[in-house]
Structure 1
Amino acid sequence: MTTGSTAEPDGGDMHGADAAEPCQRAGPPKVPAQEPVVDAATAEKPNSGDLSPAQAGCSRNWRSPFVMGMTAAAGVAVTYGVVELIIAARQVLILIGCAFFIAMSLEPTVSWLVRHRLPRWAAVLSVLVGALGVAAGFIAAAIPPLMAQAGQFSVQIPEYLQSVHDPQSVLGRLNAQFEVQQRVQQFVSGQSAALAQGLLGAGKLLLSTISGAVVVAVLVVYFLAAMPRIRRALFRLVPADQRPRAVGIGNQIFDQTGGYLLGNLITSVIAGAAVFVWLVIFGVPFPLLLAVLAALLDLVPVVGPITAGVIVSLVSLTVSPPVALATVGFLVMYRVVEDYILVPKIIGRTAQVPAVATVVAVLLGAALLGIIGALVAIPVAAVIRLLLRELVLPRLDHE
């Protein structure tokens, strides 16, 4: 037996759809069609407790001056805290960045060994052993001459002191005319506390340098071992639709940076070897130390080779003025050969940075981070140029 009552329409789905609508579409609850419509003048306003959560949230005024002011103040406070945190951790961040750049410079060699069927851990170990062997060889070759020259200087100190009191010697005449000995004694007695603080500061600097080198070496090992995972993690931060393009740009960045740093290291070793051969041929003192200094300074673009050339030329002046002039000519010719033959062949087109941008980048890097900033200035400038060419300029051209 059927009843005559009619089934009412189910309003559960309708209510869920209304609750899911955005705030802009939220309004008074919908009235079913079969219910009589109440006149707007006599309709009772709904109680705030009867509103849905979405409607209640929309009743708040998020554009009020108080809310906007609090939001801006919170943003400024967070930004200030982040900046202070970066400044406090500046030294650690520099060490991490230096280790990462060294790992990027060694990554092409590790990848080449991996492509030749060598496990990655064995490739990393081989590269690190080779790099440490080269560094230990330089140190072992430089320390004996340095100690020998220091010993000779200590033996000659009494002779220098005796010549200062001899009025017939050059040092004696200079001492009698300018009172060099008295001025030195007054300076030492007046600056004894400053000298003691300077020696203490030098000891702290040496200790911090050694500890920093150890930290960088350990970080380089970890970065090299985890470089594929680091690259995949960085690429996953990009949305999926833009990930293929990001992978292509990221591979170019890694190739340019690693290729430039490794090529710069090779050209610096060649520069040190050339300087060493030249100084040995002409009998310039301290040839090995000067060659190591020239190789280290050659790592710093623009400024480093000029500084090394001035130092080597001044030392060669102790032999004779013609040897000094010949040394200057040799260094200028080698600079031309390195810039126009060695660098294009070894580094190639990995870092296509204009000359003006190179000088500006090196000066800014040296002013911000010192020697480390000057070392990484050109690859950073190359990365910025690549990002501008691939991302910014095409968007500006289509606008």
Structure 2
Amino acid sequence: MGATISVQYRPVAGARSDSSAESRHVNSPTREVDLDWRSVAWVLVAFVALLAVTALIRGAPRALAVLAVGTLLALAIDPLVGRLTRRMGGHRALGVGAVMLGLLIAFVVAGALLIPRAIDQGRDLSGETDRVVGQIEELPVIGDDLARAGTADAVRRAIESIPDRLEGEDTPLIGAAQTLADGLLVGLFTLLITVSLLLDGERLLRGARRVVPVRVRPQADRLGRLAYVTFGKYVAGSLLVAGIAGLAVLAVGMVLRVPLTPLLAIWVALFDLVPQIGGAAGGIPFVLLGFSKSATTGVICAVFFILYLQFENHILSPMVVGRSVKLSPPATMTAALIGVSAGGVVGALLAVPVVAAAKAAYIELRPGNPDETEGGG
């Protein structure tokens, strides 16, 4: 018999006067209850499990977002890993390591070239803004209205108050540091998920395939290949288009000397991953900071970005991404809006390839499909 824990207590019938309650307390019998230590341990384990489940539910949206992004990156990188693996004698770990090393070198080189320039431009931003405000007040039509509204003085006071805000108790630098730390942690987990899927993805698929009933395995294999091809091509094409957008903004911003051009290029590339609506949203800071250089620079930035969006939406994206998703622009826009409403940026990234994969699966499985007819014959 296992060890027990004895707990003593005296039953209390109800409220009494102080003297009577004290006498009853002295005369009342003491009862003992024996608790098995294993019961106490199970209660503690259940309590800890409840806390863990609660934390998991609260953090589920973020965890699912990290898992989704890591999966999409793995699907995009997998074809390159496959080619390198075949050239390296079939050692997949070497192929994954080579790809990750190449990406690391690219990020380090880009950071070394762009970050110092962004810091220097950030230091000069306040002086440039103060100078350009005077130019804006000299613009035709609206310049006099801006001057009467005291726009220059308001902007100067806002710039001068920035050091005081940073020195306060609730300094934004602390929030920025926390945000940076959270971003690095999320990026690390995303990278781990990507590497894990690249290394063990095939093993996971084989395990999942064994669970599928034998009679439907051929259809499951076809649907799996369709989803893999659709997601992989879409993500790889989207990354290529986003990279071109970032490079275009980087080149034009460097030529026009727009402040914080390297950061703007990264911003545009990230937002360009959101279908249809992301490009326009990402270009707004680029145009605004162009105006901080001069009114002419701002107008040039606006014209350039509008023209680039037309080129991307009507030529580049249909040529690179359109072949993989095979969706009409209204369908793509609707899927992107629903994805943004449901899951933010990650939802928008997932919505379009999910709809495209569903369409491909429907075409593949519908009656009268040529491939199915040939297979049945």
**TM-score, structure 1 as length reference:** 0.63
Kindly provide the amino acid, as one letter, of the partner of residue 235 in structure 1. R
Over the aligned positions, Cα root-mean-square deviation in angstroms equals 3.8
Does residue 147 of structure 1 match 2:119?
yes
CA contact (8 A) 2:118 2:262 kept: no
Kindly provide the amino acid, as one letter, of the partner of residue 359 in structure 1. M
Aligned CA distance change for structure 1 residues 323 and 344 (closer, same or farther; 3 Å): same
Whole-Å Cα distance in 2 between the matches of residues 91 and 282 of structure 1? 39
Kindly provide the amino acid, as one letter, of the partner of residue 99 in structure 2. V
Q: Which runs of 4+ in 1 moved over 6 A?
A: 82-85, 175-180
SS in 2 for 1:353: coil
Partner of 2:93: 121
Aligned CA distance change for structure 1 residues 204 and 83 (closer, same or farther; 3 Å): closer
Whole-Å Cα distance in 1 between the matches of residues 267 and 183 of structure 2? 18
Partner of 1:89: 60
Aligned CA distance change for structure 1 residues 107 and 240 (closer, same or farther; 3 Å): same
Whole-Å Cα distance in 2 between the matches of residues 175 and 346 of structure 1? 45
* Shift in Å, 1:112: 2.3
**What are structure 1's unaligned runs of at least 5 residues?**
1-81, 161-169
Deviations 1:304-363 (A, max 9, x none): 210232222222234444443333332233223223332344335111222222222222
Whole-Å Cα distance in 2 between the matches of residues 142 and 122 of structure 1? 30
Aligned CA distance change for structure 1 residues 206 and 85 (closer, same or farther; 3 Å): closer
Of residues 320, 323, 326, the one that matches 1:352 is 326
Percent of residue pairs bearing the same amino acid type: 29
Deviations 1:224-283 (A, max 9, x none): 011211222232232111111211110111111111111111111111222222233334
CA contact (8 A) 1:175 1:181 kept: no
SS in 2 for 1:349: helix
- 1:316-355 equivalences under 5 Å are 316-347=290-321, 349-355=323-329
Of residues 125, 130, 142, the one that matches 2:102 is 130
SS in 2 for 1:302: coil
Whole-Å Cα distance in 1 between the matches of residues 58 and 359 of structure 2? 27
**What are structure 2's unaligned runs of at least 5 residues?**
1-52, 132-145, 369-377
- 1:205-354 equivalences under 5 Å are 205-347=179-321, 349-354=323-328
Whole-Å Cα distance in 2 between the matches of residues 129 and 264 of structure 1? 22
Partner of 2:343: 369
* Shift in Å, 1:86: 5.1
Kindly provide the amino acid, as one letter, of the partner of residue 276 in structure 2. V
**TM-score, structure 2 as length reference:** 0.66
Aligned CA distance change for structure 1 residues 117 and 205 (closer, same or farther; 3 Å): closer
CA contact (8 A) 1:108 1:259 kept: no
Aligned CA distance change for structure 1 residues 125 and 350 (closer, same or farther; 3 Å): same
Deviations 1:193-238 (A, max 9, x none): 7x45x66554433322211111111121111011211222232232
SS in 2 for 1:309: helix
Aligned CA distance change for structure 1 residues 86 and 248 (closer, same or farther; 3 Å): farther
* Shift in Å, 1:85: 6.2
CA contact (8 A) 1:174 1:180 kept: no
Aligned CA distance change for structure 1 residues 280 and 91 (closer, same or farther; 3 Å): closer
